[in-house]
Chains A and B, each alone.
Chain A
Amino acid sequence: MRVTVRLFARLRDLAGSGELVRDVQAPATVQTIWTSLVAEFPALADYERSMSVAVNTDYARMNASVSDGDEVAFLPPVSGG
Chain B
Amino acid sequence: MTVPPVAVTPAPLDLQALVDLVANAGDGAVASFTGIVRDTNLGRRVLHLEYEAYEALALKALHRIVAEAEETWAGTRLAVHHRIGRLEIGEASIVIAAASPHRAHAFAACRYAIERVKQIVPIWKREHFEGGDVWLEGATADPEDQHARESAYKIACA
Which residues from chain A sit less than 8 Å from chain B, CB to CB? 6, 8-10, 13, 50-52, 54, 57-59, 73, 75-81
Known contacts A8-B54, A9-B52, A59-B143, A78 near B60 by CB under 8 Å = no
- Chain B residues whose CB sits within 8 angstroms of the CB of A81 once the complex forms: 35, 82, 93-94, 114, 117-118, 123
Are A78 and B56 touching (Cβ within 8 A)? no
Q: How far is the CB of B36 from chain A (nearest CB, A)?
A: 11
Q: How far is the CB of A33 from chain B (nearest CB, A)?
A: 16
The reply on B48 being an interface residue by CB < 8 A is no
Are A75 and B122 touching (Cβ within 8 A)? yes
A51 CA / B140 CA spacing, docked (Å): 6
A13 CA / B157 CA spacing, docked (Å): 39
The reply on B42 being an interface residue by CB < 8 A is no
Are A78 and B141 touching (Cβ within 8 A)? yes
Which residues from chain B sit less than 8 Å from chain A, CB to CB? 35, 51-54, 56-58, 60, 82, 93-94, 114, 117-126, 135-144
Are B135 and A52 touching (Cβ within 8 A)? no
- Chain A residues whose CB sits within 8 angstroms of the CB of B142 once the complex forms: 52, 59
- Chain B residues whose CB sits within 8 angstroms of the CB of A6 once the complex forms: 54
- Chain B residues whose CB sits within 8 angstroms of the CB of A51 once the complex forms: 140
Q: Which of A13, A73, A79 meets B57, CB within 8 Å? A: A73
Are B57 and A80 touching (Cβ within 8 A)? no
- Chain A residues whose CB sits within 8 angstroms of the CB of B141 once the complex forms: 52, 59, 75, 77-78
- Chain B residues whose CB sits within 8 angstroms of the CB of A58 once the complex forms: 57, 60
Are A78 and B93 touching (Cβ within 8 A)? no
A13 CA / B124 CA spacing, docked (Å): 13
Are B135 and A78 touching (Cβ within 8 A)? no
Q: How far is the CB of A53 from chain B (nearest CB, A)?
A: 10
10 residue pairs, one from A and one from B, having the closest CB atoms: A80-B123, A9-B124, A77-B137, A57-B56, A79-B136, A10-B135, A52-B141, A79-B138, A81-B118, A9-B135
